[in-house]
Structure formats: C-alpha cells, structure tokens
Amino acid sequence: MSSLQNRRVLVTGGTKGVGREVVARMHAEGARVLTTARSLSGELPPDVIFVSSDLTTAAGCATVAEAVHERLGGVDVIVHVAGGSSAPAGGFSVLDDVEWERALNFNLMPAVRLDRALAPGMVERGQGVIIHVTSIQGRLPLPASTTAYAAAKAALSNYSKSLSKEISPKGVRVLRVSPGWIETEAATAFVNELAAKAGHSYEEAKAGVMQALGGIPLGRPAQPREVADLIAFLAISEGLTGQEFIIDGGTIPVA
C-alpha cells in the first residue's frame, strides 16, 4: 500500500456528514485537502482549503477544477461525496422534469464534469485515484420520492465502471463506495421528525426506518466515520480498481 502523506486530495461535499469525515481522515493521514460545498458549515481541520461552489452547475464545477489547479497544482485523489435528494413526497408522478434534472445534476454530473476536467492530468502522470460515492439504491431502490435519486446513483455507478475500464490501464484507479443508510446529521434529523410525528422515541423511529429498508442485519445504520475509513483504505490500496464496495450492514442480501 502507498501512503496519503502529501497527496493532493479533492473531496466534494466535505463540510458535513460523510464528506466531513473523509476530509478529517485524509487530513489526519497527511494529505493536502481541498473541499467544496455551497457554504461552510462548522469548522474544517487546519490547512484544509475550502472553495464555495454549486456543483449542480457547470460553472460551479469549473470553479472547483480551477481552484484545484491553482491551489494544489493538480490532484492525486478525488472523492466524489456530494449528492442527495430533496424531491417532494408523492411518488414518481410528482417528479417532473425539473426534479429529474435536479437529481442528475446533483448526483451524476458533478462527477462527470470534475473527472473530465481533472482526470486527464492523472492519466498524463500515469497515476491517481477516483472514488465515486454511490448508494445501494442504485441496486435496491426504495419506492416513491427517491426514484430519481436511485436512478441517478445507478447512472453514477455505471459511469464509474465505464471510466475505470478506460483509464485504469493508464494508471488511474476508479472505484465505487455504495453506502446503505448512514446515520448523518440529516438522517438523525429525519428520524427525530418521524419520532415526533408518531409520538415515538428516537430508537423506535430508527427501528421503523430499518424495517422499511427491509432490515439491516448488523442492527444499526453505518456511521459516517466508518464510510470514511473505507474510502481512505481504498485510496491507498493499489491493487484495486473497477470494483464496487458496499457498506450497508448487510441490507442487500447478495452483493
């Protein structure tokens, strides 16, 4: 295995949840880290470079790519964490073209645009790592309002595999990390909201969510730190490329 010491690392969506944990882990391993989000919420480790941008737009991605070249002089590791869903409730029929475009622009196109801007430099040097954070919903979609999100994550996974076939022979490893339910701040707030509406405790509401997911054999959701640990391991595991690594506590019966 190699080391992350002095590696130049870009982490998208790095100010909260999994992204913040990835930033902290990479920084702790000695990497030079640049991260981006729409706004800075909370504190980042010292020396981490923050760039404000809206990655759902081509202009926002261009701003980040330019900052990577100017502030880091290039990049060795890209971790695409940014993504999510804000679709309204009501099932597939309420997901109009705007919602579908929003899902694709949040979960697929930032990776496509940033890879297109930054991966050629990796190929030229003959080394680098790109990690796309997808979701088990790409394999096991939930019904209703997450339909567009699940489809976008499936597209991201397929894109990632295709990219790995093209540039891994040129020295650039491309991998996917597919989490199940992660107990982030947003997930905790969602469960607390469910608990309040139903008059249940947090643990009761959490158990209800796990049941809706079809059960998590491990008995709990993943923690952001655990996902970050996996990503850090993959970033230095030189014999791996093209694979999907699922971290879901056993939610998917057969991986």
pLDDT in tens, the chain (255 residues): 579 999 999 999 999 999 999 999 999 999 999 999 999 988 899 999 999 999 999 999 999 999 999 999 999 999 999 998 776 676 777 778 888 899 999 999 999 999 999 999 999 999 999 999 999 989 888 766 688 899 999 999 999 999 999 999 999 999 999 998 898 887 788 788 878 888 989 898 888 878 877 788 988 889 999 999 999 999 999 999 999 999 999 988 875
What integer pLDDT is reported at residue 134 of this predicted model? 96
**Whole-number pLDDT of residue 128:** 98
Phi, psi of 34 (to 5 degrees): -120, 130
pLDDT of residue 41: 80
Which single residue is written with the structure tokens 């979701």?
135
Nearest to residue 211, comparing CAs of 191, 226, 197, 231? 191
149 is catalytic: yes
Helix axes 202-212, 185-198, angle to 10 degrees: 100
Q: Kindly write down the DSSP assignment for every residue of 76-110, as one continuous string.
A: SEEEE------PPSS-GGG--HHHHHHHHHHHTHH
Token digits of residue 216: 């998590």
- Bridge partner list, 132: 80, 176
CA–CA separation, 105 and 58 (whole Å): 9
The torsion region of residue 73 among left (phi > 0), alpha (psi -120 to 50) and beta comes to left
What local confidence, expressed as pLDDT, does residue 5 receive? 96
**What are the backbone dihedrals phi and psi of residue 87, each rounded to the nearest 5 degrees, phi first?**
-65, 150
User: pTM for this one?
Assistant: 0.93
Task: Quote the pLDDT of residue 117.
Answer: 98
Length of the chain in residues, anyone? 255
Catalytic residue among 149, 159, 181, 245: 149
